[in-house]
Amino acid sequence: MSNNNVSAIKSTHNSGPSLEQKNVIEAPINQDVLIVAGAGSGKTYTMTRRVIHLIKSKVPPESILGLTFTNKAAAELLSRVSAEVSASGAKSFLKPEVMTYDAFFQSIVRRYGLLVGFNQNTMPLSDAGAMEIIKSIIGKYLDNPQNNAKNLSKLYNFDTLCADVINLCAEISCSMIGVDSIGETCSSVSQAVQKIREWNNEFAKHLKNVIADRKVESPLSAKAPAIPKYKKVKKTAGMSEQDVEKASAEKFKNACKNYEKYWNDSCLQFCINLYNACLKRDILLDLVLQFDAEKKRVNMAQFSDFTIAAYYLVTHFPSICAQYRNQYSQVLLDEYQDTSTTQAMLINTLFYGNAAAEGNRTHVMAVGDPFQAIYSFRGASTGAFCKFEQDFNISAQNKYSLTVTRRNSLFILKVANALTEPMRAENGDNSTQNASRRFSSIDDREVQVETLKPKDDAPNGTVCALFMPNQGEEIDAVVQFAKKIVEKYGENPLEPQLAILFRSKAKMPQYAQKLEDAGIRTSIVGYSSLIEKPAVKDVLSLLRVIQDHSDSNSLMRLLATPRFALSTADLGVLASIANSANTEYLYNVYASAGLVEDGLPRSQWDSAVRNLRNKANSGEISAQVINIYGGVYLADLIMRDFGDFGASGDSGDSGKSAVAG
């Protein structure tokens, strides 16, 4: 791309707003409005000019509220709005308020939380803090003999269990709070858990009746058998035509039986899997309730907890809604496609609700792009725009689109439109034209999204595709491309010339290192490069082992570093030595307690310990009986050997041999 082309893309609004933008900026101020703004269509500029238009239309600046999702976006919008307000000559000391959705919901809870017993000193809980609480809760749950640890150990490993509790809690917070399709209100996590559990128990009961005593006799093959077809067997010596027909019919009959059995077993296995999922869900619901209670006990809350508390407040205290409607007459909602169901209902209740009956009204403008919905993993709901249309009674004349993209060249835009074309196809359209199109992952397609169009003076740009046989050659090709770009356009060394986008952050360091080796400075965004450096990982592993001798994974990482240079075989030997020592320790403790036979030969210790643990897992004996504090860990063995080695006064490489066993 030439410098002229770069300049053409940068000069976005020198000629003022486009007709589409002008229509949005000057939309009626006494009505709710929905804006579908495509990528690069000047959304922030349009929102900024909309605020100026509102102020010029005698709307007090302090009664305008802008909400967006990130602190960065909020800061950018606030900066632009403040600058435009000052530049417009508006004589007002107060400025419009711009904040994140989470910050706004928190402010409601901080202000009115005492009405529902929400401690105003509650502190935000980070993801890491939430995980620590979850781990503590699960540890106590496993130690409690009254809980069904047998089923839990069969269904889960510890890390997966922690992650699933976090995910289920997030799903409940983002999707279950509010008014459902039959008009029932759910305003707390405990209410949501009760509703889920009622459904889960009924479903599990039905599945249990379906499964009964049946079992899948043999493992299912990964590939389903082909549909049987009747085919005559080959005639051999002594076979009559009648024999051939009989053998062919028998072969076909057996094939049909096997085919039927495969699909019966498949359906049965599917039902068994669903039943196991119900058992898992029941355990998860217990842990979600404990997690919710523990957060309240320690006065900590996640962002979703503040949202739930705010929703409870505005639904139970209509006077709060009235106060906010009096305070804000105009609200602009940025990136509306990323709102969760709970957030959307909270916004609707707060600014719309029974406003007409009460005589005061806040007018809302929602802006976003369904094709840029990126927060589904955080609870963003599909159909957010469609729901907004329904909840705010948006008419056709109050729906606007921004379709002219101001930052994309022609070829890039053409590729982007081709990629998003299947998402525009109407569901259920079986025409020849759309026969090859795959359905959109957005179930209700939100609202109609028009094809993006380029500016009249948009540069052609360049799009190319390069496929390399392996990752190493791909990295080298990217480095060579980057060098040419920097040489051609790098007049200003402080201005970045190239961006490399990744599907995941795992490969970022490899590309960054190769670029740095080639003399190209890099800045990694969205990746904690410091903590991922090998030296830093080694230090963290060392600290973890010092703090927790049972952390064998961290110890193995340390021993595999160049400082110790132990091979995979050496590490395997070390692990075997540690397991053997731990088995000896457990056997002696169990034998002293009379749980296993004393005096067994060493070769039988492992099976004795294993049989005892199997009894605990099967419920024959209490799991609490065999729980032992401590054990023999690899770190302890190594420190003991090094201590003996140091006391003997030896030196040289023999120490490494002693450790390796």
**Binding positions for ATP:** 37-44
Q: How would DSSP label each residue in 564-584?
A: T---HHHHHHHHHHHHHHHHH
Q: What are phi and psi of 27, to 5 degrees?
A: -60, 150
- In 3D, which of 1, 86, 12 has the Cα closest to residue 51? 86
Half-sphere exposure of 534 (CA within 13 A, CB side): 8
Strands (E), 399-447: 399-402, 404-405
Q: How would DSSP label each residue in 503-531?
A: SSSTTHHHHHHHHHHTT-----SSS-TTT
Residue 102 one-letter amino acid: D
Q: How would DSSP label each residue in 463-482?
A: ------SSHHHHHHHHHHHH
**What would the two tokens of residue 415 be?**
């590729």
Contacts of residue 497, Cβ cutoff 8 Å, sequence gap at least 6? 485, 486, 489, 490
**What would the two tokens of residue 622 be?**
């209490």
User: What is the distance between the alpha carbons of residues 306 and 312, in angstroms, rounded to a whole number?
Assistant: 10
User: What is the distance between the alpha carbons of residues 101 and 122, in angstroms, rounded to a whole number?
Assistant: 18
- Neighbouring-strand partners of residue 67: 99, 333
User: What is the distance between the alpha carbons of residues 99 and 73, in angstroms, rounded to a whole number?
Assistant: 9
Q: Would you say how long the chain is, in residues?
A: 661
Q: Which residues are annotated as a binding site?
A: 37-44
Please give the helix or strand (H or E) that residue 281 lies within, else none.
Answer: helix 241-297
Name the CA radius of gyration of the chain, rounded: 33
- In 3D, which of 636, 643, 644, 638 has the Cα closest to residue 661? 638
The DSSP letter of residue 398 is G
User: What is the distance between the alpha carbons of residues 288 and 295, in angstroms, rounded to a whole number?
Assistant: 11
**What would the two tokens of residue 225 be?**
């058998």
- Neighbouring-strand partners of residue 35: 367, 400
Is residue 398 within 8 Å of residue 33, measured between CB atoms? yes
Contacts of residue 119, Cβ cutoff 8 Å, sequence gap at least 6? 113, 299
